[in-house]
Amino acid sequence: MLIYLRVLKESFYFAVNALVNNKLRTFLSLLGVTIGIFSIIGVLAAVDSLKQEIKGSISSLDNSTIYLMRFSFGPTDIPQWKREQFPDVTFEEYQYINRSMPNLKAASFILNVAPETVKYQDKSVSNVEIAPVTNDYYEIEALQIEKGRFYNEQESVAGAPVIVLGDEIANSLFGSFEPIGKKIRLYGRKFTVIGVLKKEGMGLFGNSKDTAVFLPVNLVRKIYGDNNKAAFPAIIIKPESGIDVPEFVAVLTQKLRTYRGMKPDEIDNFFVNQLQGFTDFIDNITSQMSFIGLIISGFSLLVGGFGIANIMFVSVKERTNLIGIQKSLGAKNKFILFQFLFEAVILSLIGGLIGLLFVWLISLLASQFTGDFEFVLSPWNILIGTIVSSFIGLVSGILPAISASRLDPVEAIRTGM
């Protein structure tokens, strides 16, 4: 064990010596490893950050949450021309599902409509996201109320002129004043503010409840009408916890088919989108991104490996005389082999650590300039970078180390002289 520690110590000394005495050559050789590790870990960190942001953006929704609509979250075999003929879900279908579905925890009918301008006295906020939803949406998405309350079932059914504001909208219209009970204008009508949501922050896709307002969907249905293509409806469904979700989806599908009077040989003219399916789809996309990025980055690392091999062959040539003297004094082939092998690994590790340092610095800078999006350099990625750089050093240094260990001591001393 002691001899290996001695070899490691001497190899570290020779590696540092190579760095100090041949700065330019070593720098150019390590640059390949540095860029390679930077590329690979940069790709992994970026993909991990993207996945974390996506999962954070949908964390308020349970994976069992179902979106019923005429569009699909992911790829589908149904041709586009046929999908365009699918009818929108209706409020009546929402009511039917709400009263007939077993194991249903909550369901909400929502409309996706264009942004509007919201006004209070002489102040106005443009491009406000309008979220017309039924009252059960509060339970499905676990909305957090900072002030006041969310509207109840009676207000939702009656289409009462009440409204709940996102944090940023409330601050823009009222500042430090109390917003609850005040009346704001939207769609040319007056709405009474009954609640303000807690600050959420910007989501991955630029959406945020901070810049949204929530109001009863039945009121907006009166404004838009049920056949207005400018308002895209959907039904959000949350089953009770602990049930068999695939069975729930099968029952839901059959009930909607029956309600629409569809024949057994007809395909579904709607999509039952599960959030879990969307998450799996995102994971698949990010995995493909990682794979492609790793292949591209691998070429950089390959160049770095050739650089390490090159500097080790040169190091063997420069120290041929020293190798001959060591062997003449009794050093075994294994000692020489490990000496150069450890040196290659140490050099590669130095390049890898520099690459990791660059990833860390850039992730800090990127997080500062991208607001709520946080770049993450996980301990797992650091471990991967360290292992990969060590492996590159091992592979790159094996041939030079073998050639050094097989040198004849007499020929090595003569050649060195």
| In the chain, domain spans | 2-57+285-416, 104-240
> Could you read off the pLDDT of 282-313 as tens digits, one per residue?
667 767 766 776 676 677 677 777 777 877 77
Give the integer Cα–Cα distance in Å for 344 and 246.
55
pLDDT tens-digit map of 112-154: 999 999 998 888 999 999 999 999 999 888 788 999 999 999 9
Residue type, 388: V
Predicted pLDDT of residue 204: 46
Q: What is the pTM of this model?
A: 0.59
Mean pLDDT along residues 196-202: 81
Kind and range of the H or E run holding 124: strand 123-133
Eight-class DSSP state of 142: T
Place of tokens 């090595």: 412
Ranges 13-27, 140-154, 256-270: which has the least confidence: 13-27
Find the helix or strand (DSSP H, E) in which 108 lies: strand 104-112
The owner of tokens 């900072």 is 146
Distance CA 127, CA 182 (A): 21
Is the pLDDT at 56 greater than 70, yes or no? no
Look-up of token digits 């996706």? 112
Beta-sheet strands, E only, within 138-221: 145-148, 162-165, 183-186, 189-197, 212-216
Residue 371 reports pLDDT greater than 60: no
Confirm if 376 and 45 have CB atoms less than 8 A apart. Answer: yes
Per-range mean pLDDT, top range of 20-34, 73-87, 297-311: 73-87
Contact 82, 226 (CB under 8 A): no
Angle at CA of residue 249, ends 245 and 254, nearest 5°? 150
Q: Are 29 and 360 in contact (CB under 8 A)?
A: no
Q: How many residues does the chain have?
A: 417
> Does the structure show a pLDDT above 60 at 219?
yes
pLDDT digits (tens, 9 = 90+) for 174-184: 888 899 999 99
Closest CA to 270 of 86, 101, 84, 95: 86
Place of tokens 């209070």: 120
Dihedral of CA atoms 321, 322, 324, 329 in degrees, nearest 10, equals: 150
Alpha-carbon dihedral sign for residues 235, 239, 245, 248? negative
Residue with tokens 């092998």: 341
What Rg value do the Cα atoms of the chain yield, rounded?
A: 32
Interval 407-413 mean pLDDT: 70
Structure tokens at 159: 């289409």
The DSSP letter of residue 91 is: H
Tokens representing 304 are 């770095």
Q: Residues of 20-37 as b/e, b for ≥16 C-beta within 10 angstroms?
A: eebeebbeebbbbbbbbb
Task: Quote the pLDDT of residue 137.
Answer: 92
Q: What's the half-sphere exposure (Cβ side, CA atoms, 13 Å) at 318? A: 12
Distances (CA, A) of 160 to 46, 58, 118, 165, 374: 46, 29, 17, 15, 40
* Residue 206 banded pLDDT, cuts 50, 70, 90: very low
pLDDT at 63: 65
Banded model confidence at residue 205, pLDDT cuts 50, 70, 90: very low
Q: CB of 380 within 8 A of CB of 284?
A: no
CB 133 within 8 A of CB 213: no
